[in-house]
Amino acid sequence: EAIPVDSWHKSVCRFCGSGCETRVGVRGGKVVKVEGLQEGWNRGRLCIKGLLNREILYVSDRAQYPMVRKNGQLVRVSWDEALDTAAAGFRDAIAQGGPDAVAFYGSGQLFTQESYTANKLFKGGIGTNNVDGNPRLCMASAAFGYKSVFGADEPSGCYDDIEHATTFFVIGANMAECHPVVWERVRDRIRTAPQTRVIVVDPRRTPTARDATLHLQIRPGTDVALLNAMSYELLRTGLVDRAFIDNFVTFRKGTADAPPLTLEDFQKFLEDYAPEKVADLCGLSSAEIREAARLWGISQAVMSFWTMGLNQQTHGVAANRMMMALHLLTGQIGRPGASPFSLTGQPNAGGGVRDTGSLAHALPAGRLVSKEKDRHEMEKSWGLPEGRISPNPGLSAVPLFEAMREGKVRAALVMATNPARSLPNADRYREGMEKAFLVVCDSIFPTDTAQMADVFLPAAMWAEKEGVFSQSERRYHLVQKLVEPPGEARSDLEILVAFGERLGHGELLKARTPEAVWDEWRRISAGSTYDFTGITYARLKELPGLVWPCPSEDHPGTCHRYVPGKDPLAKKEGRIDFYARPDGRAIVYLSEQGPFREALTSDYPMTLTTGRRLEHWHTATLTGRIPQLQGIDIDYLELHPGDAAVMGVKEGDWVQVTSARGSVRLQAKPSMRVRPGVVFALMHSMKHLVNAATSDSVDPTSGQPEYKVAAVRVEHV
Ligand code: SF4
């Protein structure tokens, strides 16, 4: 039976970084229906999480009132008392330890205006670069990869490339479950062009791998070796684009300003990565590696997709660089269907956090805190005296929580995320959260992190506030305010402004409405490689999003970055212009696989890797509360039936997974999905702390932790 609706409004899904566009029906001050927008890139499709966008607004645990901890208990107080207490805690911490004794830990689920304002308040107002967030846990290695290879972050292609690709190379991404609507577009392509090939690289036989022409069931954490071996093979067989390499590529080792090397140097470096030399390490046959290289090399247009499987390892930046290198060696970039394409996990990790520079090392629009010129530009834009922004990069996620443990960071504001459950080696960092003065802002109460708060501030959710989200293809969308938040909940932007005022930074935060902050941010983007001056509120209200660069109000947005004639920032003539690099050339890095950070031993002989399933999201603070999803099992450990038989473990038996850091008990699910020696758990479990066992080793460049590779033992209990 049709649900009566008073009015329909355009919006976007609150969950993953696919960014599916929605039509939202409102009646009587309530959201009553959410469906896919036919004119959107998603062609009206939504996955089950998207269809449940309405339900998350009305779950029973919506946070409604501010609270302050008194005599060990969080008790309801007025907004004034909560904000005064929060500000007093921060002032005390600054008085004792200086500005770097406080921190902001944000989220790819905040609106762009919210992350931008928090970044400005902490870096420009309080004077600390301790601004980081959960995107450090999911996309940092991709961001550092893009920046080091192309000089600018974010992918160069767009979803329309899917209709032109002849080969899809999917590595470290279970798109059928984690980016299902993008995957349906890939499947549309396969259905209409049956000659399309799909190569999937994943230690599990995922639903994505079921559609593969070739599935490489790789040993976790060996992606750099595989991608080097494919490069070796492409060069050996001549399946490279020599003209593209000669005109648009340089070779370097280590950093972007290292001395240039030659193609011959690169080939010599790759001799150690011949397929037969790395096949055992990767757990593959040399024939499989050669076939993957051949399928890539003979393809007209290759589109690669990757996400956490590649990023969440201590070689994450190297793996990202090598993914981009395969495209550069073969000229598979800047043509329809030819694009390296990382998929973002959250609805606004790209636009909200990466673009606004809301990470400890960064400043807005690609600027860095370590560069004097960049700091001065931002000080001028924010009306601050020269020298106000600290030249020292702040603490990224893992060291930040370690500094709380050590008492160096004494107070932190955590917004829209649940680090007590999502951090690796979580028990260690829970100690830090217990110790610090913690202000937690969330739309759900309780969460693991909220329960540790000294001050809890209730936040509005997607349709209860206004702001901009940006998804994986650099498309910005407006999320309109359609209904009132529950109880006394407020938007995160209002909360940040009120908190900043109490700390004496009201003058800095003069832009206070979502539209005013957006306009300020548009002006700051002008002239940068992120230019989206032309993405006005008026256009966002009318159009199904706009893709940057978009430097003027009559510009339609850019599908293919760096392509003269298509990208308004590409000024040179010719096939491509990597304009964010000083010499106009992208870099192929000589990237070593390097040793495993955590070798398998007789005590810890198996590898734990983690991931997601279709119906749930992240630590399930939202999806775990939706009645329709409650019966779905998220508490199991997949292990190979051969390994299970050796242990005498049957389906449903309890097993204990122990790493050098901690243990978690889960129910066994013997499955051919995983390769022998590898076990897999979901990050969603609300009953069991899977992250007690995961590894907090980080990539030395990006600071991203290695969730995907932990040495463990599994015992039948
Ligand atoms: Fe939402 Fe992602 Fe599902 Fe699209 S694919 S409906 S963005 S969760």
Q: Which atom of ligand 1 is nearest to 48's Cα?
A: 3
Q: Which atom of ligand 1 is nearest to 19's Cα?
A: 7
> Of all protein residues, whose CA lies closest to atom 1 belonging to ligand 1?
50
What residues flank ligand 1, with Cβ below 6 Å?
13, 15-16, 18-20, 46-47, 49-50, 179-181
> Of all protein residues, whose CA lies closest to atom 3 belonging to ligand 1?
47
**Active-site annotation holds for 138:** yes
Per annotation, catalytic residue among 151, 283, 345, 545: 345
Distance 346 CA to ligand 1 centre (A): 10
CB 60 within 8 A of CB 625: yes
Distance 51 CA to ligand 1 centre (A): 9
pLDDT at 1: 65
Distance CA 129, CA 106 (A): 13
Q: Which atom of ligand 1 is nearest to 50's Cα?
A: 6
CB 698 within 8 A of CB 429: no
Q: Which atom of ligand 1 is nearest to 22's Cα?
A: 6
Pocket test for ligand 1, best of 11, 12, 20 (most atoms within 8 A of CB): 20
**DSSP secondary structure of 602-617:** SSS-EEEEEE--TT--
Q: To which H or E segment does residue 670 belong?
A: strand 663-670
CB 423 within 8 A of CB 429: yes
Distance 49 CA to ligand 1 centre (A): 6
Distance 175 CA to ligand 1 centre (A): 11
Q: What are the C-alpha distances in Å from 611 to residues 218, 307, 619, 639?
A: 15, 11, 11, 14
CATH number of 7-57: 2.20.25.90
CB 79 within 8 A of CB 66: yes
Pocket test for ligand 1, best of 41, 47, 177, 477 (most atoms within 8 A of CB): 47
pLDDT at 702: 97
Question: Which ipTM value was assigned to this complex?
Answer: 1.00
**Active-site annotation holds for 346:** yes
Residue with tokens 């090397």: 261
Distance CA 184, CA 169 (A): 15
Q: What are the pLDDT digits (tens) for 79-106?
A: 999 999 999 999 999 999 999 999 999 9
CB atoms within 10 A of CB 48: 16
Q: In terms of Cα–Cα distance, which of 366, 443, 389, 437 is closest to 107?
A: 443
Q: Which atom of ligand 1 is nearest to 182's Cα?
A: 5
CB 18 within 8 A of CB 185: no
- The superfamily (CATH) of domain 140-343+585-589 is Dimethylsulfoxide Reductase, domain 2 (3.40.228.10)
Distance 54 CA to ligand 1 centre (A): 13
**Active-site annotation holds for 178:** no
> Of all protein residues, whose CA lies closest to atom 4 belonging to ligand 1?
20
Residue 314 sits at φ, ψ, to 5 deg, of: -70, -10
Distance 434 CA to ligand 1 centre (A): 34
Per annotation, catalytic residue among 47, 138, 175, 415: 138
Q: What are the C-alpha distances in Å from 690 to residues 45, 135, 610, 633, 695?
A: 32, 19, 8, 14, 11
**Active-site annotation holds for 345:** yes
Q: What are the pLDDT digits (tens) for 115-163?
A: 999 999 999 999 999 999 999 999 999 999 999 999 999 999 999 999 9
CB 135 within 8 A of CB 349: yes
Q: What are the C-alpha distances in Å from 618 to residues 50, 88, 134, 594?
A: 14, 32, 11, 30
Distance CA 605, CA 357 (A): 40
Distance 184 CA to ligand 1 centre (A): 11
Pocket test for ligand 1, best of 12, 21, 42, 49 (most atoms within 8 A of CB): 49
**Active-site annotation holds for 49:** yes
**Class for the domain spanning 606-716:** mainly beta
Per annotation, catalytic residue among 16, 67, 139, 606: 139
What mean pLDDT value characterizes the chain?
97
CATH number of 67-138+354-509: 3.40.50.740
Per annotation, catalytic residue among 230, 308, 378, 461: 308
Give me 511's structure tokens: 């832009």
> Of all protein residues, whose CA lies closest to atom 2 belonging to ligand 1?
16
Hey, where are the domains in the chain? 7-57, 67-138+354-509, 140-343+585-589, 606-716
CB 486 within 8 A of CB 64: yes
Residue 67 sits at φ, ψ, to 5 deg, of: -140, 150
Pocket test for ligand 1, best of 12, 18, 37, 187 (most atoms within 8 A of CB): 18
CA angle (513, 518, 522) in 5-degree steps? 150
Distance 225 CA to ligand 1 centre (A): 32
pLDDT means per 10 residues in the chain (717 residues)? 91 97 97 96 97 96 98 98 98 98 97 98 98 96 97 96 98 98 97 96 97 97 98 98 98 97 98 98 98 98 97 97 98 97 94 94 96 98 97 98 98 98 98 98 98 98 97 96 98 98 98 97 94 96 94 97 97 96 97 90 97 94 93 95 98 98 98 97 95 97 97 97
